[in-house]
Every structure is written in structure tokens, then in C-alpha cells.
Amino acid sequence: MASLRPPTQDDRIYVAGHRGLAGSAIWRALEQAGHTDLVGARSSEVDLRDRAATFDYLADTRPSVVVLAAAKVGGIAANDASPADFLSENLRIQTNVMDAAREARIERLLFLGSSCIYPKFAEQPIREDSLLTGKLEPTNDAYAIAKIAGIMAVQATRRQHGLPWISAMPTNLYGPGDNFDPEKSHVLPALIRRFHEAAEAGAATVTLWGSGTPRREFLHVDDLGRAIVRLLDVYDDPETINVGVGEDVSIRELAEIVADVVGFRGEIVQDTSRPDGTPRKLLDVSRINALGWRASIPLREGIESTYRWFVTHRAEARLVG
């Protein structure tokens, strides 16, 4: 195994998915940490599902570090409606980038996964060693399997090639640059848009999917960005590492916070015909906390800043698809 060498400010770092929610926050955090040689490409420039194009791009740019944040992502409805697409596209993206990175002998790679990799009924808070100990949540099992395959690819690369590659599993993310489509987005940005439009229209009610009782943990992407910088500097272990807040709220409580921030004063109605998903998903973040990182943005403060971003950037925000 190669010894860990933290990235220097002169190292070229490729952020795959640098225009997405997570990738753009990681890019900002790297810049704030003093890294100046950052590279990225839009999907229209390099389609990471295209193996030849991916190999050519990494061979041309020759980064020292790869942060693999590119992925096909979506909320419960999108995952449940298109599982084959989520499985196929994510497997292709991951495999192409990692194979190209191995061929280019890129020493350091961080693979960004998702907390949906863990069993539906894992013991709470969820430790990293809960992986593969039970059945997955069926509404997003295809996406989860792809992410689990990414973790396995990192571990296999470490064993076979001796490279200090790592993986990190963030909890539910939110923040500037999110997807606000009401059908395809994750729960928090969908709620922000739904309550904003209801407040604008003077609506009497807003419908909330499911029972409202499932509990979720929400991490601001700028906290994630700082976590990734820290992990690139100090983390070198085959086991994936959780990135989260260590606190959760019910979906109903989340909706009430969003409604208050947005200024919606009507009634919140539960549509119990919609799926709840996993009953609770709270990550054990003791390992990353021990490395000197801890989430710092409180949930309400993060929602307020995200809402301000949504209002300011609504014209170019992802509102459909």
C-alpha cells in the first residue's frame, strides 16, 4: 500500500460532477483550502457513461487526485420509477472513472456514495459496519447496489493495486444548486419549492407525501465539502466512512420548519398513499468526528440560506427534470 500523501495546493484535482450539488460544494471547499489546480467537465463535454471519452479525458488532464461525485441522483419517486436507469448509469460512471484512474495510475481517489447503501432496518445510529447486514429499502435498492459496487471497487483497488483510494457516505444533502423538481428531487428541495409556490398562490393546504413520521438527517453541502477536504488530507482506510450531522428530524417536523421559513401559513395535509421509505436513517458519525471534522451549519440556518438561494436563482435553478 502506498503511503498517504495529503494533496498539496499544486496538485491537480479532478472533481467529477463538479456542477452538481455535491461536486460544486466540494469544488468551493477545495478552493477555500487553497487548491488552485482544479479541473472538471460538464456532461456535455465529457459523458462519463462513455468509456472511451472518460479514458481520454483522464489521460489528457492527468490529475493527481480524483473526487468521484458524478452520479445519476433523484428522490424516492425517481428511484422507484426508473431503477434500471439508476443502476446502469451509476455503474457505468463509476466503473469508467475508476478504470481510467487505475490505467492512469492516479494515486488518490475518493468515491462519494450515499447513506442509502445501508439496510432498511439497520440499528440506529447506523455504523459503517452495518453495510451488507440486511435488506435494502426497495424504493431505491438499485441506486444503493450501484453505490455498494463503488465501495467494493475502491476496496478491491486497494487490495490489488495498493493505492490509497477511499470512499465516503454522506447523509441526505441539501443546499445551493439543488434540484427543485417536485417529482424528481429529494424531499427538502421539493418541500422548499412546494411551500414557496403555495405561499405565493395563497393556498390553504400543502400535501406532504407519506405519514410524516420517518426521520431523516440533513447535511448542508458546504459542510460536506469541508469534510471531503479533511478526508483527502488524513483518511486512509478500506472501510467507507460516514459523513453526517448526528441528529435527525421527522419529515413532518422538516415540513413545518420549511413552511415557517417560506412564510406559508396554511395547513399541512398528509398523503398516506405515498411511500414513506426507510423509517429512520441516522448515521453514526463518531469516526469522522474523531478525525477532527464536525458539521457546523444548523438545519434551520441551512434551510434559510438555501431558500434565499432558490428565490435568487429561481430562473436558472433545476425546476423540471
Binding-site residues from annotation for NADP(+): 17-23, 112-115, 147, 170-173, 186
CA distance 92 to 166: 19
The runs of H, that is alpha helices, within the chain are: 21-32, 51-61, 76-81, 83-103, 141-161, 187-201, 221-234, 251-262, 286-290, 299-312
Q: How far apart are the first and last CA of the chain?
A: 43
* Residue 161 CB contacts under 8 Å (≥ 6 apart), including other chains: 102
143 noted as active-site residue: yes
CA distance 7 to 64: 8
Query: Which grid coordinates belong to 316?
Result: 436558472
Q: Of how many residues is the chain composed?
A: 321
Q: How far is CA 118 from the centre of its chain?
A: 14
Contact 65, 43 (CB under 8 A): no
CA distance 146 to 87: 6
Which residue is catalytic, options 14, 57, 118, 143?
A: 143
Provide the annotated binding site for substrate: 194, 209, 216, 276
Q: Which residues are known to be catalytic?
A: 143
